[in-house]
Amino acid sequence: MAPFFVLFALVTVAPIGYAAWLSLFHDEQSGLGFGGTRRVFSGFGNYTKALTDPLFLTSFRHIAVYCVLYIPVMVGGALLLALLLDSALARAKRFFQIAYYLPHAVPGLIAAMIWLYLYTPGLSPVLDVLDGAGLSWNFFGRDEALLSVVNISAWQWMGYNMIIFFAGLQAVPRETLEAATMDGAGAIRTALQVKVPSIRPTLILTTLFTCVGAVQLFDAPQLLQLRAHEMGESWSPTMYIFSAAFKGHDYGLAAASALLLALVAGAASYVVTKLGNRWRAA
């Protein structure tokens, strides 16, 4: 196991340690600004600055609303697709598994660019269809932009998680399903009371990974804010970190914000795990 721990130390532990050290300093101009910058120890000043910055706090509020909408849609949709594929009435299962998984094979940045095209008036065939039906929708509006981001993420990840759920359903003993059928349980009752409880660990793990991934959301809103200007450059925590580091050149603030984001992700993982264990034991 030594190679694993060596790589883990190099690509995970060392960067985290460097970020922690970097977060304790800030750069300031020396003299009248002609002498360059110098690094000054600020202690927990960067953490205080991040925690009192309305943009940073608002970015977490955006992600919280995003999670409330995205997680039920993605997990629920993936589970529904998996149950449909596992149904005895399903046909061409291999074809639909590949078809549902294909969106995940598209890199996130490319997927966001495709949807940006589909959201843009004058270019989008989707908007043309809506206009033809007498409907109107602004994908870049103040309230609609969040739904646009949710749609991009759900489109990309639903098929991936469907494969995981489908694999879990395949492990459910067929004898159990046959016994449920002999007891008079229909397809829907069997799915809800036999299949879903049998894959509780898979559901919990998928929800956990989804929460951690949602906190790190970056690609879709970063591209979308190029047209949805009301979103701003700090719509999500990762966008705030990116802006602080590469636009504001405040690497201490960016490092402190990244560590705070990691703590939030860890706390969310703990809460989901505890709730999941209670549900599993119920």
Could you state, in chain order, the average pLDDT of each consecutive group of 10 residues for the chain (282 residues)?
Answer: 94 92 83 66 90 93 93 93 83 85 88 90 86 86 89 93 91 82 80 86 88 89 86 91 90 93 89 78 65
DSSP conformation letters of 13-71:
IHHHHHHHHHTTEEEEE-TTTTS-EEEEE-TTHHHHHHHT-HHHHHHHHHHHHHHHHHH
Chain length of the chain: 282
Are the CB atoms for 97 and 161 separated by under 8 Å?
Answer: no
In the chain, where the domains are located = 45-281
β-bridge mates for residue 40, sequence order: 26
β-bridge mates for residue 37, sequence order: 29
Cα(57)–Cα(243) distance, integer angstroms: 15
Q: Which two tokens stand for residue 61?
A: 């509020």
Burial of 98-121, coded b for 16+ CB within 10 Å and e otherwise, reads eebeebbeeebeebbeebbebbee
Give the three-state DSSP class for 217.
coil
Are the CB atoms for 172 and 195 separated by under 8 Å?
Answer: yes
Q: Determine whether domain 45-281 maps to CATH 1.10.20.140.
A: no
Cα(118)–Cα(200) distance, integer angstroms: 36
pLDDT of residue 159: 92
pLDDT of residue 282: 63
Based on the number of CB atoms within 10 Å of its own CB, is 126 exposed (0-12), middle (13-18) or buried (19 or more)? middle
CA 60-63-65 angle, to 5 degrees, is 110
Query: In the 8-state DSSP scheme, what is residue 163?
Result: H
* pTM to 2 decimal places: 0.87
169-172 long-range contacts, CB within 8 A, separation 24+: 169/82, 169/83, 169/86, 169/195, 169/198, 169/199, 170/86, 171/198, 171/199, 172/198, 172/199
Are the CB atoms for 102 and 182 separated by under 8 Å?
Answer: no
pLDDT of residue 153: 93
pLDDT of residue 32: 57
